[in-house]
Structure 1
Amino acid sequence: MLRSLNSHEEQDTDHQHNPSHGLSSPAHHMRQLLISCAELISQSDLASARRMVSLLFTRSSPDGDSTERLVQQFTIALSMRLNAHNFIPTDSGAVQSSYLSLNQITPFIRFSHLTANQAILEAVEGHSSIHIIDFDTMQGVQWPPLMQAIAERSDPSNPPSIRITGTGHDMETLRRTGDRLQKFACSLGINFHFHPLQIPHDTSPSAAAVLRLLPSSIAILPDEVLAVNCVLYLHKLLSDDSRNVRLFLRTIKAMNPKVVTVAEREGNHNHPIFLQRFIEALDYYTAVFESLDATLPPASKERHDVEQIWLGKEIANIVAAEGEERMERHERFESWMEIMRSSGFSNLPLSPFALSQAKLLLRLHYPSVGYQLRLLHDSFFLGWMNKPLFSVSSWY
Structure 2
Amino acid sequence: MKSNEMPPLDTHIFRKIHNYSIGNVENREIDSHGKLPLLYEDGSGNKYNKATYGFSFSTGNHQVEFEPLKSFHSLDALFLDTTPPFHSYEHKMRELADIESQYSELIKPHTQSHEKAVQHDPSGPKLSTDAIIRLGGERFIQSCSSTSMKDISISNHPYGGSFSGLSDEEVKDVQLIENLLLSSEKVTKQQYERSIKLLDWCDVLSCSMENPVQRLVHYFSKALREKIDKENGGDTSGGSKKKDEANLAERVMTPSATATMLYEKTPLYQAGHFAGVQALVDGLSGLKNVHVIDLSIKQGTQCTILMQALVSQPNCPIEHLKITAVGTNSKQKIEQTGVWLKSFAESINLSFSFNLVIVEDMLDFKKGLLELDPDEALGVYTSCGLWGMIAQQDRLESLMKVIRSIKPLVMVVCEVAANLNSLNFVNRFIEGLFFFGALFDFLEECLGCEDEIRTFTESMHFGKGISNIVASEGAERVMRHVNINVWRKFFARFGMKETELSMSSLYQAKLVVEKFPCGSGCTFDRDGDSLVIGWKGTPIQSLSSWKFS
**Counterpart-to-counterpart distance in 1, 2:255 and 2:299:** 11
Shift of 1:266: 1.4
Match of 1:39 in 2: 185
Match of 1:312 in 2: 463
**Counterpart-to-counterpart distance in 1, 2:107 and 2:400:** 33
Change (3 A) 1:95 1:122: closer
Shift of 1:246: 4.1
Q: Secondary structure at the match of 1:147?
A: helix
Match of 1:217 in 2: 369
Change (3 A) 1:55 1:2: farther
Cα pair 2:328 2:362 within 8 Å, conserved: no
Shift of 1:258: 0.9
Matched, 1:16 2:109: yes
**Counterpart-to-counterpart distance in 1, 2:265 and 2:98:** 31
Change (3 A) 1:153 1:211: same
* Partner amino acid, structure 2, of 1:103: Y
Q: Secondary structure at the match of 2:539?
A: strand
Q: Secondary structure at the match of 1:308?
A: helix
Change (3 A) 1:239 1:157: closer
**Structure 2 gap ranges (5+):** 1-57, 63-96, 111-116, 119-126, 140-162, 164-170, 236-240
Change (3 A) 1:46 1:117: same
**Percent of aligned pairs with the same amino acid:** 24
Matched, 1:144 2:304: yes
Matched, 1:334 2:485: yes
Cα pair 1:95 1:309 within 8 Å, conserved: no
Give the number of aligned pairs: 387
Match of 1:161 in 2: 321
Q: TM-score, structure 2 length as denominator?
A: 0.64
**Structure 1 gap ranges (5+):** 201-208
Change (3 A) 1:244 1:261: same
Change (3 A) 1:101 1:296: same
Question: Which residue of 377, 381, 390 corresponds with 1:229?
Answer: 381
Q: Secondary structure at the match of 1:142?
A: helix
Cα pair 1:101 1:306 within 8 Å, conserved: no
**Counterpart-to-counterpart distance in 2, 1:288 and 1:177:** 28
* Partner amino acid, structure 2, of 1:231: S
Question: Which residue of 89, 106, 109 corresponds with 2:269?
Answer: 109
Change (3 A) 1:119 1:157: closer
**Counterpart-to-counterpart distance in 2, 1:352 and 1:11:** 28
Match of 1:205 in 2: none
**Counterpart-to-counterpart distance in 1, 2:317 and 2:266:** 39
Shift of 1:139: 1.6
Match of 2:353 in 1: 193
Matched, 1:68 2:214: yes
Matched, 1:127 2:287: yes
* Partner amino acid, structure 2, of 1:237: M
Shift of 1:367: 4.6
Change (3 A) 1:251 1:294: same
* Partner amino acid, structure 2, of 1:125: S
> Which stretch shows the higher mean deviation, 94-103 or 4-13?
4-13
Change (3 A) 1:74 1:111: same
Shift of 1:13: 3.0
Q: TM-score, structure 1 length as denominator?
A: 0.87
1:238-387 correspondence runs (5 A): 238-239=390-391, 245-387=396-538
Match of 1:203 in 2: none
Q: Secondary structure at the match of 1:347?
A: strand
Deviations 1:3-60 (A, max 9, x none): 7975387473366258343345433332232233333334444444444444332222
| CA RMSD between the two structures | 3.0
Matched, 1:118 2:278: yes
**Counterpart-to-counterpart distance in 2, 1:264 and 1:157:** 30
* Partner amino acid, structure 2, of 1:228: V
Q: Secondary structure at the match of 1:55?
A: helix
Change (3 A) 1:38 1:16: same
**Counterpart-to-counterpart distance in 1, 2:499 and 2:172:** 44
Change (3 A) 1:339 1:331: same
**Counterpart-to-counterpart distance in 2, 1:138 and 1:174:** 7
